[in-house]
């Protein structure tokens, strides 16, 4: 793999995590820059505490950034955006280079559920990298130099004030605020933000009752209007010989089929052949359909997918369950990948999954690695005649946990 020192990263992460939560996190003058996929192409975005957008350039020529969202309540920041042409060789913001797509991505980093949980009765030690390792995961995975980063949702978890006397999260912000987005996501992911272009998936923590206002202002791939956005329509990303369809299932009811939602998602699943007229397809959305832990499988999406998924859909990439798992099924279904172990409190999940029946579907092959924080890397087979991919699960210090080969809807794990 790439050359980096996990112990050195861990030391920096311990210091960084402590500094992140020290009192006045609202250093809105600090800029964050990145490139993300949006419907129809890519955008460069920046968060700044200044009153005007910074200077951007594409291939050396100045280009005007637009004001995506103005400062407002709990968000003393300006978010600027500009479309970057697909043919661009280089782009900068304030002279700082941006990571643009380079041909088809062959190495896709997958992370999810990365924030630090603070609720009334569940306080994670956000000030301790051993208990919230997202900064370590971010910096370690950036050392792999991915071509693309896919975040499968749930960026902010600091829902309530830290309990009095709890030094593990003392000084932490909470609520739907810029301070929380900065502490939970932007500060710890700063190196990874600039390492590659991103695809951002909306998670249930970005519902309107939680972090939805910040999602709409900052990361939502669609144009922003004041307030929290509702469920978004799918959009596509060309991966070269494979198309990724990005969906918003942030509010899909896990426990029971919500008939209104079933109708909406069934129409979205059925629209995939129109969005992608030919070739293999992967879908990415936050809540997995046929996966298992204390959360359970998603009854709404299962009902919507019944009879609606084209056979060209080969894989589903999700988070929501705080573990790593890959599953294929006896039934004719896409592979389900779960990579939601990026930092939040880990889920209880079975270590042996082959033969388990989930909402009537039987796991034929796959692997599960519960109770370990980390990230995943999808790598395309180097043989140009092959359409196979390999997915490798790593822990926070880049040690290999599991590896699976994906061929169509089949999984072969070791």
Residue 390 and residue 307: Cα distance in Å, rounded?
28
- SS3 assignment, position 52: coil
Q: Which of 15-19, 221-225, 349-353, 367-371 has the lowest mean pLDDT?
A: 15-19
Q: Helix-strand-coil percent breakdown of the chain, rounded to 5?
A: 15, 30, 55
- SS3 assignment, position 260: helix
25-39, 258-272, 354-368: range with highest mean pLDDT: 258-272
- Annotation: CATH topology of 6-30+101-413: Purple Acid Phosphatase; chain A, domain 2 (3.60.21)
Q: What is the pLDDT of residue 364?
A: 97
Q: What is the pLDDT of residue 295?
A: 60
Q: What is the pLDDT of residue 380?
A: 96
Q: How many CB atoms lie within 10 A of CB 413?
A: 18
Q: Is the pLDDT of residue 260 over 80?
A: yes
Q: Is the pLDDT of residue 393 over 50?
A: yes
Q: Is the pLDDT of residue 18 over 70?
A: no
Residue 412 and residue 414: Cα distance in Å, rounded?
7
Q: Is the pLDDT of residue 11 over 80?
A: no
Question: Residue 23: which pLDDT band, with cuts at 50, 70 and 90?
Answer: very low
Share of the chain above pLDDT 90, in %: 85
Q: What is the pLDDT of residue 294?
A: 59
Instruction: Tell me the mean pLDDT in the region 137-142.
Output: 97
Residue 100 and residue 80: Cα distance in Å, rounded?
17
Instruction: Tell me the mean pLDDT in the region 260-284.
Output: 97
Q: What is the pLDDT of residue 27?
A: 42
Q: Is the pLDDT of residue 155 over 70?
A: yes
In this structure, what token pair is assigned to residue 367? 């692997």
Average pLDDT score, the chain: 91
193 or 9, higher pLDDT: 193
First to last CA, the chain: 19
Question: Residue 14: which pLDDT band, with cuts at 50, 70 and 90?
Answer: very low
Question: Residue 93: which pLDDT band, with cuts at 50, 70 and 90?
Answer: very high
Residue 38 and residue 236: Cα distance in Å, rounded?
8
Task: Write out pLDDT tens, residues 209-253.
Answer: 999 999 999 999 999 988 899 999 999 999 999 999 999 999 999
What stretches of 159-279 show up as alpha helix (H) in DSSP?
Answer: 178-181, 190-193, 212-214, 259-270, 272-275
Closest CA to 254 of 323, 300, 208: 300
Instruction: Tell me the mean pLDDT in the region 294-308.
Output: 88
Q: What is the pLDDT of residue 292?
A: 77
Instruction: Tell me the mean pLDDT in the region 31-54.
Output: 96
Q: Is the pLDDT of residue 296 over 90?
A: no
122 or 401, higher pLDDT: 401
Q: What is the pLDDT of residue 122?
A: 84
Q: List the beta bridge partners of residue 348.
A: none
Q: What is the pLDDT of residue 392?
A: 98
Q: Is the pLDDT of residue 105 over 70?
A: yes
Q: Are 31 and 48 in contact (CB under 8 A)?
A: yes
* Domain segments of the chain as ranges: 6-30+101-413
Task: Write out pLDDT tens, residues 324-347.
Answer: 999 999 999 999 999 999 999 999
Render 307-346 in DSSP notation, one character per residue: TTS-TTEEEEEE-SSSSEEEEEESSS--EEEEE--SSSPP
Closest CA to 174 of 124, 113, 229, 132: 124
Q: Could you give the C-alpha distances from 413 to 46, 97, 258, 280, 352, in angstroms and in order?
A: 40, 38, 35, 21, 13
In degrees to the nearest 10, what's the CA dihedral of 146, 148, 149, 153?
-160
Tally of residues, the chain:
414
Q: How many CB atoms lie within 10 A of CB 287?
A: 26
Q: Are 228 and 216 in contact (CB under 8 A)?
A: yes
Strand ordering across the sheet containing 235-238 = 235-238, 243-246, 281-284, 313-318, 335-339, 324-329, 361-369, 357-358
Which are the contacts of 64, defined by CB distance < 8 A and separation ≥ 6? 53, 56, 82
Q: Which of 73-87, 256-270, 343-357 has the lowest mean pLDDT?
A: 343-357
Q: Is the pLDDT of residue 16 over 50?
A: no
Question: Residue 102: which pLDDT band, with cuts at 50, 70 and 90?
Answer: confident
**Long-range contacts for 125-128 (Cβ within 8 Å, ≥24 apart)?**
125/168, 125/169, 126/17, 126/20, 126/21, 126/158, 126/168, 126/169, 126/172, 126/183, 127/17, 127/18, 127/21, 127/167, 127/168, 127/169, 127/170, 127/171, 127/172, 128/14, 128/17, 128/168
Task: Write out pLDDT tens, residues 168-191.
Answer: 999 999 999 999 999 999 999 999
């Amino acid at each position: 793999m790439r050359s980096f020192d996990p112990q050195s990263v861990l030391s920096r992460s311990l210091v960084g995590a402590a500094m992140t939560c020290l009192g006045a996190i609202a250093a809105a003058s600090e800029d964050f820059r990145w490139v993300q996929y949006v419907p129809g192409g890519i955008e460069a975005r920046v968060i700044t505490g200044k009153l005007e957008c910074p200077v951007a350039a594409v291939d050396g020529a100045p280009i005007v950034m637009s004001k995506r969202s103005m400062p407002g309540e709990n968000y003393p920041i300006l978010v600027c955006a500009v479309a970057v042409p697909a043919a661009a060789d280089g782009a900068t913001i304030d002279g700082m280079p941006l990571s643009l797509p380079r041909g088809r991505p062959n190495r896709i980093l997958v992370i999810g559920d990365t924030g630090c949980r603070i609720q009334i009765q569940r306080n994670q030690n956000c000030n301790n990298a051993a208990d919230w390792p997202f900064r370590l995961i971010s910096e370690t995975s950036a050392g792999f130099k991915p071509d693309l980063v896919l975040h499968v949702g749930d960026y902010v978890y600091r829902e309530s004030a830290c309990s009095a006397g709890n030094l593990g999260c003392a000084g932490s912000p909470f609520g739907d605020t810029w301070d929380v987005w900065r502490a939970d996501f932007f500060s710890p992911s700063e190196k990874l933000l600039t390492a590659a272009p991103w695809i951002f998936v909306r998670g249930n923590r970005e519902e309107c009752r939680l972090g939805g206002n910040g999602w709409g202002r900052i990361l939502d791939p669609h144009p922003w209007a004041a307030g929290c956005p509702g469920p978004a329509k799918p959009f596509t990303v060309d991966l070269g010989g494979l198309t990724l369809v990005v969906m918003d299932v942030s509010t899909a009811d896990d426990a029971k089929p919500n008939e209104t939602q079933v109708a909406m998602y069934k129409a979205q699943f059925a629209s995939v052949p129109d969005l992608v007229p030919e070739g293999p397809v992967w879908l990415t959305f936050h809540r997995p359909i046929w996966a298992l832990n204390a959360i359970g499988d998603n009854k709404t999406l299962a009902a919507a997918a019944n009879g609606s998924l084209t056979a060209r859909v080969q894989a589903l990439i999700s988070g929501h369950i705080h573990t790593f798992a890959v599953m294929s099924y006896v039934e004719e279904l896409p592979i389900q990948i779960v990579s939601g172990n990026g930092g939040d409190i880990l889920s209880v999940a079975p270590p042996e999954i082959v033969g388990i029946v989930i909402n009537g579907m039987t796991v034929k092959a796959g692997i599960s690695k519960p109770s370990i924080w980390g990230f995943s890397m999808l790598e395309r087979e180097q043989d140009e005649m092959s359409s196979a991919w390999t997915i490798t699960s790593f822990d926070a210090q880049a040690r290999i946990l599991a590896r699976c080969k994906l061929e169509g809807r089949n999984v072969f794990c070791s």
